[in-house]
Chain A
Amino acid sequence: MPTRVLVPSGVLGLGFDRKALARGVAMRPDIICIDGGSTDSGPFSLGAGQSKYSRAATKSEWRILMQARAEAGVPLVIGTAGTCGTDSTVDWMHDITTELAEELGQSVKIARLYSGQPVGRIARALEAGDVTPLTPAPEIRLDDLSNIVALAGAEQIQAALATGADIVIAGRTTDTATIAALPLLHGDAAGGAWHGAKIAECGALCSTNPTSGVIMVDFDTDGFTVEPMAESAACTPHSVSAHMLYENSDPFHLYEPGGYLDVTGARYTALDQRRVRVEGSEWVPGPYTVKLEGARIAGYQTTILAILRNAHYVKNASLWVERLTAYLTGEIESRMGLTQGDYSLEFRLIGVNGALGDLENRSGDPVEIGVLGIITAASQPIAAEIGKLINPFVLHYPLTDSEELPTFAFPYSPATTDRGPLYEFALNHVMRLSDPMEAFRIELSQIGAEVPA
């Protein structure tokens, strides 16, 4: 059965063209799907179990989508709710949804799909040989992970839809799962379902006008057709096929729970000036595995930023930092009793190799250099104490013993900033399941009066 999926944008919180959304709703989609997150901003969101986007932006966009859902009379699904898709961010999204339903006077049935993993489950799977590392994978250590999630696929979204929910708030899912779920349920081509989902998961990024957001995908038994909803946007065979490059280490193969997508044989054809037809993508079934993500606290940080503008110091910045570091290492040891294994102190020269570090192969003649000191220690009080200890020297340390004390530019007071915990990604593994729902659970809630189906 043909399936029409409306994708309002690549992620909730980044905005979309409202006219384009209205046009999409008028075309009577079967479902509205949007992604809520990604690992792209780093491990903090997963580690802390917090959304990266503001509640205000999330709520204002979700309000519009909840209104679109009511008008279209079809399910609204969000995947990887709250950036990281932990149980805490699913609940955060559920709170926002409940508030909005009350404000809008909507009666809605909500299904929450939880992807959070208790450590015990992962430990048992590991012991049973059901956890396999991907390349490159950090060594598995489960004792200190703050959050673990498994990436749900189409089956878990289908289970949530089967409850008859108006709104599905899913924890961590693959980028494609929410979009592929209904076409697969309808028996549309599996290769086309996953491929079309991948093309649409970043919204209008597969078109000539990425910021317009809204995309419609029509799935059927032979493939899919993709069309941007903004009048100013067009999909071309190039804009669509080039999207397979984006944030993919392999542009032809995409691994999902239960198999992989192979687009080597895909054919992209322009139907007209703005629609592209895609056929020939293949789905290759395999073992049912779900990818795992986890984060742990790798220390606590305090930073300090000084700016060197004096030409003598700009010219000799690397040497200055070398001398300063050696001096501070001694000071920290003699005053705090900490040796180099207890903390790390790194100075990065912004204007020299701030972005690329050792990979930098160019040098120039900068007007000024930002010296960013990063302290990482076992606790925030220790990191903060080291920050205070080094502060006067970062301000005044001379290049040689025979010169006057310099004074550099601190942009703010206090010069140090406590950054809180530093999280790190701790898993790049897949876990084999005997049943797709084995590692996921669904909770239902009803806001307002129940509407008989």
Chain B
Amino acid sequence: MRLGDLVLKVRSKNAGPFWVTIDIFCDRPEIFGQVRDNLSTRAVAELYQVPEQLLKRFDIEDLRVVKFSIPRPVVQGSAADRDMHGAQYAALLEEYEFD
């Protein structure tokens, strides 16, 4: 099933011009546990084509949120940028096929 169908919301946004941060809001504790345990950091790094060691991951139990921050694949506003606010990056994780 797609990750977006399992969780409440997947949101992405710039965190300054050089980073983009993606928050997965899980709603229920058991869903949070499922995402925390089964969504690998490597899979997310591959999805966004960034080296795994540059990706920051936070599993925040109190909020039932799994958060990833990645150096922006292209710097915000540079000639190659296609998404000034970084908000569409979330779509890739939202549509990620997840068991």
- Check: A143 CB closer than 8 A to any chain B CB: no
Q: Measuring CB to CB, which residues of chain B are less than 8 angstroms from any residue of chain A?
A: 13-19, 21, 23, 25, 47-49, 56, 58, 60, 62-63, 65, 67, 69, 71, 73, 75-85, 88-89, 91-92, 95
B63 shortest CB reach to chain A, Å: 6
- State which of A138, A299, A355 has its C-beta within 8 Å of the C-beta of B82: A355
Residues in A whose Cβ lies below 8 Å from that of B56:
249-250
Docked-complex contact B18 and A428, CB < 8 angstroms = yes
Q: Measuring CB to CB, which residues of chain A are less than 8 angstroms from any residue of chain B?
A: 39-44, 134-138, 238, 241-242, 245-252, 298-299, 344, 346, 348, 354-359, 361-362, 374, 376, 422-425, 428
Q: Count of A-B contacts with CB under 8 A?
A: 102
- Nearest 5 Cβ contacts at the A-B interface: A42-B77, A249-B69, A249-B15, A43-B77, A249-B19
- State which of B60, B79, B95 has its C-beta within 8 Å of the C-beta of A251: B60
Docked-complex contact B77 and A361, CB < 8 angstroms = no
- State which of B21, B58, B88, B92 has its C-beta within 8 Å of the C-beta of A247: B21
Residues in B whose Cβ lies below 8 Å from that of A357:
80, 82
Docked-complex contact A361 and B17, CB < 8 angstroms = no
Docked-complex contact A245 and B23, CB < 8 angstroms = yes
**In the bound complex, CA of A41 to CA of B89 (Å):** 16
A279 shortest CB reach to chain B, Å: 15
Decide: A250 near B69, CB < 8 A? Known: A40-B14, A40-B85, A359-B49: yes
**In the bound complex, CA of A361 to CA of B23 (Å):** 20
**In the bound complex, CA of A428 to CA of B48 (Å):** 22
Residues in A whose Cβ lies below 8 Å from that of B58:
250-252
Docked-complex contact B76 and A39, CB < 8 angstroms = yes
Docked-complex contact B67 and A245, CB < 8 angstroms = yes
Residues in A whose Cβ lies below 8 Å from that of B91:
355-356
